[in-house]
Structure 1
Amino acid sequence: MQQTRDLASSQAETERTSFWPFGWWAIVEIRVGIIPLPIYLLLLALVAGFVITGKVPGEISMAIAVLVLCGFTCAELGKRLPFFNKIGSAAIVATFLPSFLAFHHLLPEKLLGMVTNFTQVSNFMYLFIASIIVGSIFSMDRQVLIRGFAKIFFPLAAGSIVAGIVGTTVGTLLGLGTKHTLLYIVIPIMAGGVGEGAIPLSVGYSEILNIPQGPVFAEVLPAVMIGSLCAILFSGLLSWIGEKRPHLTGRGTLQPAQDIPKTPRFEAAPTTPDVNTVAAAAITAISLYLVGLLGHRVLGLPAPVAMLFVAVFIKVTRLVSPNLEGGAKIVYQFFSTAVTYPLLFAIGTAMTPWDKLMAAINVANVVTIACTVAALMSTGYVVGKWLKMYPIDTAIVNACHSGQGGTGDVAILTACNRMSLMPFAQIATRIGGAITVTITLLILSRLS
């Protein structure tokens, strides 16, 4: 009897160590990003086949395959850079390597055209932002949300003032001129990105100063891009410091939990949501974005900001059930895990001009930009600590004020693994940027 059991055990052990199917299953579990290794190799061969045959289909399935393949390849390269992998190099490589490749025509022309067209036509970045904002707000503790929104404006305002003074002073000392430094470097950094910042700023400068808008835009754009790059690097560095000193960070929350009063009667933990609930949460996020889009047409507010306010109102007034909140959290987790790096690759390929970035790289410009971003984040750190917020997370939200709009927010928060801060990042980027542009143009019009 014992001999029979030993024989059966030996056979079972042999099966487990045999290549098929156990060895093959082990290979399938090796992943490049989220892609199983055999599927990764299959996608690589398929994309190469389409490129060689001379036509890359523009349909959504092909676009998803290419973006996922290229985005996670770039991210994996970034994750393997010594030291830099600890401060967000995956996000940097996923954004700027495709920009370099596209500018130097190192990507196949038909592949580049398909990615660019899909990115510009689908505008799927806003689907990503909608899912991240609604998911993170709905899954956030209600009291944390209320107090976080009430407090975040203080470090943001203080940081903007200090960064303006420090950046202008540094640029002046380096020979860039006070007016040039303030108007063409410091203000563009905090203007809210390209679409909501650099473009309206250049249009305003053009009308007020009676100069052509095109050259002005070309002059302010590099400051936006290099400022965003500095914010990514500094945020990644802060995240690394937070790993060494965990008491300084909430890992994606702004305020210590012990400072928040609990309301257990309403904030019951939701059960694990089913597929229907997750789908309901996804369509809820899309619906709220459309509300924001309509709000933009009627009120002029940027769509993400209008959506943000609506989502906060819904959360604060408890208009959604805990179960739907749980579904929104799953949607948030899916997009932050599966869509971030493909989105960054698309942004780098279609929306990040490598030549403009390189044109502004000189010692005086880079030092001025770096000092401006550092002052903005350092002030956020100090004021956040004074307000009993987590200083590292507060500084990272301030960093988003110097980001490249919504694309910068994605890259910055990805670099430091704090996508749950997206609602506060949108406040820093959209509202902070709009206030910066408005005040600047008002003062300039009075002085001209």
Structure 2
Amino acid sequence: MEKLFQALDGHSFWGYKLFAIPMYLFLLLAFTVITANQLDIIPSSMVGSIGAMFIIGIVMGELGDRLPVWKDYIGGGTLLALLGGSLLVYFNLLGESCRESIGELMKTTDFITFYAAVLITGSILSIDRAVLLKSFLGYIPTVLAGLAGAAALGSLGGLFFGKSVREVLMYYFLPIMGPGTGAGAVPMSQIYESAGMGPAAEFLSTAVPILTLGLVMSIVLGAVVNKIGLIFPKLSGEGRLSRREHQETVTEVGMENVTPRSCASGFVLATGYYIMGVILSKIIPPVMGVSIHAFAYMVILLAVSNMLGLIPQSVKDGSRKLQSFFAGQLSWVIMVGVGVVYVSIADVLAVLTISNFIMVFFVILGAMAGAALMGWLMGFFPVEAVITAALCMSNSGGAGDVAVLGAAQRMNLLSWAQISSRIGGGVMLIIASILMSAFAG
């Protein structure tokens, strides 16, 4: 083992660094966390949860970024951190205190919303004002084209397994392309029951495992699409969505001069605009019976503020610097939390049959094809269009957006992913209502 690390960087094993921490010190910290986990005394505070998530994330992330094949085609450290967290729960290797502490951080404290708010703010303010309006006008049609492709190719795939169009749309298309479990499958199950198609639990028992498989497949395909972009660079904007401008995002010139106070102002901006989004989501009535999520309003408010030039450049720079730090240094931590709390290996294994695997693949592939084609017509790079308008529709939303963008190395596109998850997710509930009413009749 020591020779392996010497071969990697020319230093001794004990001098080798993980996450910039010398090996001897990292092992001490890891031993501390492992001991606390075994004694089931991980603190229930943010300190305990983040401490445990960092150790797990660093080990899984560093390993995933070095494994041959995995690092290039499967998802690298990001996906291994997510799966590592989920597998630790599956094999019951995390103590109750550790699971509860991480669950408290991710759900009760809702750290993932804070993380997403920071990334959305920085990514929106990194986009040139002149490009924003053009991009918004073309993006929704790209999402809708992805939905059409998913329904069409999914229905075609169903023919090979003797599944009717009704069955494909109800139990594959709607769960996979919907906005996750809480915001998607649960309200869909209520629509299912109210339409007289059967008990809500009947729909959920099929939908939840299928959408979980869709999430995992979307993450893997995110890494694959990123690799395709590296092989065929003309298809990729390397993080830029629009082809119509040579440079869609603000350059990093002068970013090294951003002050700590400017970074702090990024926190104020991210939290303030999210609260604005929450206010609008509460006072604006549902559209066609569907409530619009606070993140969707947040994206719109930030975009309008950017286009009108309301935000000083120093504050923009601080927000972008903050986004860069969160995306680059906290992604593995978040992925561990997503794996522990949101991804159930047991649910995935329960539906992992050849027919289900192929059906889920057909639905997602159809979404990718539709988004790529319409995205190109709308002036977007196919790689970025597929990642945001297709895979961020098929990934259960929210935490799935972070996981897919992490695997695709496109975390700066979180604002577009949120449009897919929130506005696109709302559209899916409308489609579910229409389809279930039609099928019930």
Q: What do residues 192-228 of structure 1 show as CA deviations (whole Å, max 9, x unaligned)?
A: 2222211111121122125222232121012212112
Residue 189 (structure 1) shift? 0.9
How far does the alpha carbon of each residue in 1:38-86 deviate from its partner, in whole angstroms, 9 at most, with x for none?
4422221211232344422112212211111112222223223321211
Cα distance in 2, alignment partners of residues 351 and 259 from structure 1: 38
Tell me if structure 1 keeps the 8 A contact 2:212–2:344.
Answer: no
Residue of structure 2 in register with 1:254 after alignment: 241
* 2:360 matches 1:375: no
Can you give the 5+ residue segments of structure 2 that lack an aligned partner in the other structure?
1-9, 285-290
> What are the superposed Cα offsets for residues 216-261 of structure 1, whole Å, 9 maximum, x if unpaired?
2121012212112222222211211211222221111112364679
Hey, what does 2:339 align to over in structure 1? 348
The aligned counterpart of 1:431 is 423
Query: For the residues of structure 1 that align with 2:305 and 2:172, how far apart are their CA atoms?
Result: 38
1:86 aligns with 2:72: yes
2-structure distance, mates of 1:329, 1:26: 36
Amino acid at match of 1:444: M
1:55 matched to 2:41: yes
Q: Which has the larger radius of gyration?
A: 1
Q: What's the counterpart of residue 3 of structure 2?
A: none
Q: Does 1:276 align with 2:261?
A: yes
Q: What does 1:239-388 align with in structure 2 at a 5 Å threshold?
A: 239-256=226-243, 258=245, 272-299=257-284, 300-388=291-379
What is the alpha-carbon distance in structure 2 between the residues aligned to residue 390 and residue 198 of structure 1?
31
Aligned length: 423
Letter in 2 for 1:428: S
TM-score (ref. length: structure 2): 0.89
Match of 1:67 among 31, 46, 53: 53
Does structure 2 retain, via aligned residues, the 8 Å contact 1:33–1:73? no
The residue that corresponds to 2:170 in the other structure is: 183
User: How high is the TM-score relative to the length of structure 1?
Assistant: 0.88
Deviations 1:82-136 (A, max 9, x none): 2121131323222223222212312233322322233221111100110000011
Counterpart amino acid of 1:42?
A: L
User: Which of 151, 158, 167 in structure 2 is aligned with 1:171?
Assistant: 158
> Structure 2: how far apart are the matches of 1:159 and 1:59?
41
Query: What letter matches 2:258 in structure 1?
Result: P
Name 1:410's counterpart in structure 2: 402
Identity %, equivalent residues: 25
Write out aligned runs for 1:99-110 (5 A): 99-110=86-97
In the superposition, relative to structure 1, how do residues 262 and 238 fare at CA in structure 2: closer, same or farther (>3 Å)? closer
Instruction: Check conservation: 1:254, 1:394, Cα contact below 8 A.
Output: yes
* Aligned-partner Cα distance in 1 for 2:305–2:322: 17
The letter for the 2-side match of 1:411 is A
Aligned CA-pair RMSD: 2.6
Amino acid at match of 2:412: S
Contact 2:127–2:249 under 8 Å retained in 1: no
* Contact 1:144 1:260 survives alignment (8 Å): no
Letter in 2 for 1:430: R
- Relative to 1, partners in 2 of residues 1:26 and 1:95: Cα closer, same or farther, differing over 3 Å? closer
Query: Which residue is equivalent to 2:183?
Result: 196
Partner of 1:444 in structure 2? 436
The match for 1:144 is: 131
| 1:286-307 C-alpha deviation (Å, 9 max, x unpaired) | 1111122222222342121111
**Does residue 154 of structure 1 match 2:133?**
no
The Cα shift of 1:263 comes to 12
Find 1:223's aligned residue among 190, 201, 210: 210
Instruction: Tell me the distance in 1 between the aligned counterparts of 2:110 and 2:236.
Output: 33
Give the conservation status (yes or no) of the 8 Å contact 1:72–1:341: yes
* Structure 1 position 392, deviation (Å): 1.1
Residue 389 (structure 1) aligns with: 380
Partner AA of 2:191 in structure 1 = G
- Cα displacement (A) at 1:421: 1.0
Structure 1 unpaired stretches of 5+: 1-22
